[in-house]
Structure 1
Amino acid sequence: MKKYLFIAMAIAYCSSCNLSNEKEVSRIEKRDNILKNIIPPTISENVMLLTHFGAIGDSLTDCKPAFDKAIEMCKEQKGGKIIVSEGIYLINGPIHLTDNVCIELQKGSKLVFGSTPSDYLPVVLTSWEGTFLYNYSPFIYGYQLENIAIIGEGTIDGNARDSFSKWAEHQKESQLLSRQMNHENTPLKERIFGSGHFLRPHLIQFFECKNILIEGVTIENSPFWCVHLLKSENITARKVKFNAFNRNNDGFDPEYSKNILIEDIEFNNADDNVAIKAGRDYEGRKTGIPSENIIIRNCRFKGLHGVVIGSEMSAGVQNIFVENCTYGGYCKRGIYLKSNPDRGGFIRDIYVNDVEFGEVEDLFYITAYYHGEGKGFETDIRNIFVDNIRCRKATKSGLVIQGYPSKKVSDIYFSNIRIDSCSTAMSFTNTENIVFNDIIIGQEVKIPSHAK
């Protein structure tokens, strides 16, 4: 039988109030200083129509040659804005971007990628679940570029539901091989996957890029993660819509990346809406580039989880801000921080403010023992600040923290938390210095009754 635990905790001393105000000012100043470093790229005025390069939006003509020609022209002219007008454009193979390029997908336009694996060869340098390797090219790929924009009201359709998405059933052998290469520090030149393997390519990947804008477009039917931001910085993503229901169709996956603004996004994903990563195990610790300075605000979450940190986060994650977000539908978990003792690294200085969910399984969940596995490299998880978070119903648990015996989760601050209905209110193990201020789980207890 479900039991409702009615809790009203208040640690209300003048000194703590002053400390709270100082923390709020510190949070806002830190956030605003980060925002100063996130500047969208200037879009070229050198306009090119994709149709002038032979593209036909009839859903039948292969328009990859037209894209290749247009991008080559942009390269020769030091930049350009490629206009994709209304129509359905078949793209049999990847679009490899160049510096100073904007692709504008006008209303009614759709890029539909072909499903023949050999079209995405030769292999390119990429990363797969936190391990660098050579694999099939992402469908839209930018490597070591600056000033890239994908904008407009059109759609990017990975067309992967009946092709690449099904590779998940056959990927285990290659997946384990990639992890072995990671742990054994196999030279990168020997990590060749592609043909004969089943590691699904990403839909969009920016790798070692700077100054990126993704705005307005709809993203759907991805073969794997939708937008992978890898070792990149100064990124703005706004007003993007996701309808991505294949396996592992995360929305945004920042990895080893910094100075990112994700705002006004309409998520509808079969997996994590935002999953912040920083490399896996040995390679992540060796690379040592944390994902940091990421602001997620004014978004509507819907899918598996709202915001996730991990589990591949071995180089560390810090300075993450989740603000003024709500929900567009069900999420299994609202905010989810996960690691295990194979990862190492740290998760710290995480700020969650003014966020609302409807029905979830678990509202707020931290685990340092993800999948119950790993040893030798515990993660340091501390300095998490959660303020003004609301949830209508948590079918399993409200607040969960699972530390590790030799590395406890510490310095977690909850304030102004309200969960209307919940099976297990709180479950904390291997923790220290967990602070509460104004928590209501279940029905608020008001004036006490008295004997008549």
Structure 2
Amino acid sequence: MKHILTRILAAAAFIAACAPDFVSAGGAPDPWAGVPKILARIKAPSFPDRVYPITKYGATADGKGDSSEAIRKAIDACAAAGGGTVLVPAGTFLTGPIHLKSNINLHLAEGATLLFYNDPDRYMPNIFTRWEGVELMNFSPLIYAHGQENIAITGKGTLDGQATDDTWWAMHDLSKNRVPGQPPGSDSRNTLMRQADEPIETMDPRKRIYGKGENLRPPFIQPYNCKNILIEGVTILRSPFWEINPVLCQNVTVRGLKIISHGHNNDGCNPESCADVLIEDVYFDTGDDCIAIKSGRNNDGRRVNVPSENIIIRNCVMKDGHGGVTIGSEISGGCRNVFVENCRMDSPHLDRALRFKTNAVRGGVIENIYFRNIQVGQVADAVVHVDFNYEEGAKGAHTPVLRNVVIENMTSQSSSYAFYLRGFAKSPISNITVRDSVFNGVQRDNILEHVDGFEAVDVKINRVPPKPKIKKKKKG
């Protein structure tokens, strides 16, 4: 009962969050006029002027000794004193999972590396978490906080998850058993997805026991049901799974990071059912979506029913990945009021720049999404990609909604498509506006299926001339 009451109160707090003011001073509709109001609510936490070096509690900087207990003791001492900074000085420190507490800044000095064990046994016992939008009991994330306020991870140091094809990433293999004595990751994932579709009234996520032997890899950083979060400055390498995944959080700042991680499902930053989020000045070079906004999967997401909303993304660089800025696919709780500006996306290994993915099993309402001043170099597929047929397609009863998307001042240099938009006849994509944009080096015609209201104003699409077919000479 306590758990259910906590979730109801959390949901109510998000719903009560003030919506941005979309009206300009002159009275004309101006979505971007709401951005200062959102930013006014996003404030980085401050901390007492107390410092607790982990070396004082026995941490060793040789990268070989286990510093897990020393880090835990430093966090406990700092929390008992009312908060402050837990300092990781220069050196390499080997550790298991780190659980942050309120009013603590985990600060990595320049030259400091936290090197995380890649042995799954170190991330037991199970804790309450979300995995691909479904709540369960699973491995601890590498850095985790639950129900805390005023927490931070800062500094010029490095977080290295040490994931490799022979350790964490091997769990992804969906075709065969690459971890001796354990089932392939697909078995665990399929079971969890079936549980996500059970009737809402019978669901109890704490009875979904995974962890050891089940092969659902943990995210790197996951604050869960927390407020006032700052993640700033650090470099993140070799994550087991999603790298930064705040869930049911409010007032989140992700700033000035370098994220380089090319494993399976290595999304860069996935705010999930969060409100008032700022992601800025981040360099993404990832094995999956650079940024993917989410809000829960299928019936389990509808049970929690908290959207992601009031999210600002600016001044970021996206290199490799499946999508630059993506919304979905775990989006059953909906998403609204997203503002993306002044970002650069460019790589032959970046599939799409702006991506929306959902289906009739996910459902969810995605609305009020705004992009401006986006520079795209090369992408492999489409610059703007919307697909309601992602994975399960139209097989479900929860038709998705995508409406009110505005793209302004976008340029691209090379892509297969400028626009690839596929909605449903019974639920068309609606109100897509593109202004003052140029798409160069486009290889194929636009795909617009079941789109109701596509407006292009001062838009140029410059096709690449088709390559001439070379006739093969007949032998003899």
- Determine if the TM-score, normalized by the shorter chain, exceeds 0.5: yes
Is residue 318 of structure 1 aligned with residue 336 of structure 2? yes
- Counterpart CA distance in 2 for 1:146 and 1:213 is 11
Task: Note if contact 1:43-1:149 (Cα within 8 Å) is conserved in structure 2.
Answer: no
Aligned to 2:353: 334
C-alpha distance 397-443 of structure 1, shift in aligned 2 (>3 A): closer
Match of 1:101 in 2: 104
Residue 23 (structure 1) shift: 9.6
- Aligned partner of 1:409 in structure 2 is 429
> Cα gap change, 1:72/1:338 in structure 2, threshold over 3 Å: closer, same or farther?
same
Please tell me whether the aligned partners of residues 160 and 238 of structure 2 are also in contact (alpha carbons under 8 angstroms). Answer: yes
Candidates 297, 308, 311, aligned match of 1:280: 297
1:308 corresponds to which of 326, 340, 360? 326
The one-character-per-residue Cα deviations of 1:27-56 (angstroms, maximum 9, x if unpaired) are 222111111110000122111111111111
1:238-317 matches, within 5 Å, as 238-304=255-321, 305-317=323-335
Aligned to 1:380: 401
1:122 aligns with 2:134: no
How far apart are the structure 1 equivalents of 2:386 and 2:262? 25
What are the superposed Cα offsets for residues 399-452 of structure 1, whole Å, 9 maximum, x if unpaired? 1211101111111111112111111241101111111101111179xxxxxxxx
1:253 is paired with a residue of what secondary structure? coil
* 1:183 equivalenced with 2:197 (yes/no): yes
TM-score by length of 1: 0.91
8 Å CA contact retained: 1:285, 1:344: no
Q: Distance in 2 between matches of 1:210 and 1:70?
A: 22
User: Which letter does structure 2 place at the counterpart of 1:179?
Assistant: M
In structure 2, the CA distance between the partners of 1:209 and 1:359, relative to structure 1 (3 Å rule), is same
Q: TM-score, normalized by length of structure 2?
A: 0.87
Is this contact kept in 2: 1:44–1:102, CA < 8 A?
A: no
1:417, 1:171 → 2: CA distance? 43
- Given that 2:363 and 2:400 are in contact with CA atoms closer than 8 Å, whether structure 1 keeps it comes out as yes
2:209 to 187, 192, 210: 192
Of stretches 201-210 and 180-189 in structure 1, the one that deviates more from structure 2 is 180-189
Matched to 2:57, the amino acid is F
C-alpha contact (below 8 Å) 2:442/2:463 kept by paired residues: no
Whether the aligned pair in 1 keeps the contact of 2:414 and 2:441 (CA below 8 Å) is yes
CA–CA distance in 1 between the matches of 2:25 and 2:429? 24
Residue of structure 2 in register with 1:399 after alignment = 419
Q: For the structure 1 residues 193 and 418, does the alpha-carbon distance in structure 2 shift closer, same or farther, using more than 3 Å as the test?
A: same
> Which residue of structure 1 lines up, in the alignment, with residue 50 of structure 2?
46
CA-CA distance at 1:61 after TM superposition? 0.9
Partner-residue secondary structure (3-state), 1:36: helix
- Structure-2 change in CA distance of 1:99 and 1:87 (3 Å): same
**Alignment partner, residue 10 of structure 1:** none
Counterpart of 2:185 in structure 1 is: 171
Runs of 4+ in structure 1 off by over 3 angstroms are 19-25
Residue of structure 2 equivalent to 1:390: 411
Q: Does 1:62 align with 2:66?
A: yes
Which among 80, 83, 87 is matched to residue 83 of structure 1? Answer: 87
Structure with the bigger percentage of strand? 1
- Partners of 1:140 and 1:317 in 2: CA distance: 26
CA-CA distance at 1:197 after TM superposition: 0.4
CA displacement, residues 101-152 of structure 1 (integer Å, 9 cap, x when unaligned): 0011011110000122111110000011111000000010000000001111
State the partner residue of 2:375: 356
Deviation at 1:336, TM superposition (A): 0.2
CA positional deviation for 1:328: 5.3
Q: Aligned to 1:439, which of 446, 459, 465? A: 459
**Aligned-partner SS, 1:412:** strand
1:309-342 deviation per Cα after TM superposition (whole angstroms, max 9, x unaligned)? 0011001000001101113534110000111011
Bigger RCO (CA 8 Å, 6+ sep): 1
Is the Cα–Cα contact under 8 Å of residues 155 and 234 in structure 2 kept in the other structure? yes
Matched, 1:110 2:113: yes
Q: Distance in 2 between matches of 1:371 and 1:30?
A: 34
Structure 1 gaps of 5+ residues are: 1-18, 445-452
Which of 366-375 and 214-223 deviates more? 366-375
- Looking at structure 1, the residues matched to 364 and 26 of structure 2 have their Cα atoms a distance apart, in angstroms, of 28
**Secondary structure at 1:229's aligned position in 2?**
coil
> How far does residue 233 in structure 1 lie from its aligned partner after superposition?
0.9
2:443 paired with 1:426 = no
Q: Check 1:97–1:120 CA distance in 2 against 1; reply closer, same or farther (3 A cut).
A: same
- 1:367 CA drift (Å): 1.4
Matched, 1:36 2:40: yes
Partners of 1:418 and 1:20 in 2: how far apart? 27
CA contact (8 A) 2:24 2:30 kept: no
CA distance in 2, matches of 1:326, 1:359: 10
Distance across 1 between alignment mates of 2:151 and 2:189: 31
SS of the counterpart of 1:68?
helix
For the residues of structure 1 that align with 2:392 and 2:406, how far apart are their CA atoms? 26
Instruction: Give % identity.
Output: 36
Secondary structure of the 1:174 match is helix
- Confirm or deny that 1:139 pairs with 2:160: no
Match of 2:221 in 1: 204
User: Tell me, which stretches of 5 or more residues in structure 2 are unaligned?
Assistant: 1-22, 174-183, 465-476
